Amino acid sequence: MKRKIAIVVLFIGLLASGFYADQSSGGASLAPTVHADDGSATVMIGGDGVVLGPNKAVCQLFNANGKAIPGGTETMDSSVNGFVKFTWQVNGGKLEANFPFPDTNATHNQVSALVPAGQPNQFYLLLSDDHILIEDDPNFVAEGTFSGVKRVTTKCQYVVQIDETGLHPVSPVCIKCVFIFNK
Q: How confident is the model at residue 26 (pLDDT cuts 50, 70, 90)?
A: very low
Number of domains the chain contains: 1
Q: How far apart are CA 128 and CA 50, in angstroms?
A: 22
Q: Is 105 exposed, middle or buried (0-12, 13-18, 19+ CB in 10 A)?
A: middle
Q: Helices then strands (H, E): number in the chain?
A: 2, 11
How high does pLDDT run on average in the chain? 78
Compute φ and ψ for 54, nearest 5 degrees: -60, -25
Q: Which domain holds residue 124?
A: 2-182
pTM above 0.85, yes or no: no
Helical residues (DSSP H) of the chain, grouped into ranges: 2-16, 133-136
First to last CA, the chain: 17
Mean predicted confidence (pLDDT) in 164-174: 82
pLDDT tens digit string along 97-114? 998 877 777 777 778 888
Q: What angle do CA 99, 177, 104 make, to 5 degrees?
A: 30
- Which secondary structure element, helix H or strand E, spans residue 129, and what is its range? strand 122-132
Mean predicted confidence (pLDDT) in 118-146: 89
Give just the sign of the alpha carbon dihedral 162, 163, 165, 170.
negative
Q: How confident is the model at residue 173 (pLDDT cuts 50, 70, 90)?
A: confident
What is residue 86's predicted lDDT score, i.e. its pLDDT?
94
What letter would DSSP give residue 52? E
What is residue 23's predicted lDDT score, i.e. its pLDDT?
34
Cα distances from 87 to residues 18, 57, 94, 142, in angstroms, run 27, 11, 7, 10
pLDDT surpasses 90 at 81: no
pLDDT surpasses 80 at 20: no
